[in-house]
Structure 1
Amino acid sequence: VHKTTSKLEARAWGFNFLELNRIEAMVMLENLASMKLLNKLGFSEEGILKEYGFWKGKFHDLRIFSLLKKDYK
């Protein structure tokens, strides 16, 4: 619950204080918990970035999500 609350506050801060139009999140393909949370927070999946992230000596595909200010509730 605390993790979700801080994400909700981050969205509000980004759109209201920083006046952002778009917030993005990228997660590793096997990170199902983060994908579920992003969907719950209203983010839309945009696709897969091939070999975009680099960890532990190798490249990894990342799934990208976004939330637009006009879609923020």
Structure 2
Amino acid sequence: MYRESMSTDPSYALRTLIAHLEQHLAVVSQSRGAADAAVDAAFGSLADAFEDYEDALYEQYSELLPFTIPNNDQ
């Protein structure tokens, strides 16, 4: 999955994460079922934004979040 270049500014990364959370909710609320590719795409974008935010937090403050993203590749 393609990831945009990460900003090291945690505030920017947080705003981006919130936008992806809102987009995910919009897509899920209009989903046509479990096989809806738009839901998978929204999940992937949200996961990327989460990782960018956590990376920015760690880089700036050496802090991690108490969450993990499920990985279906394992």
TM-score w.r.t. the length of structure 2 is: 0.34
Which structure's relative contact order is higher, taking Cα pairs within 8 Å and 6+ residues apart? 2
TM-score w.r.t. the length of structure 1 is: 0.34
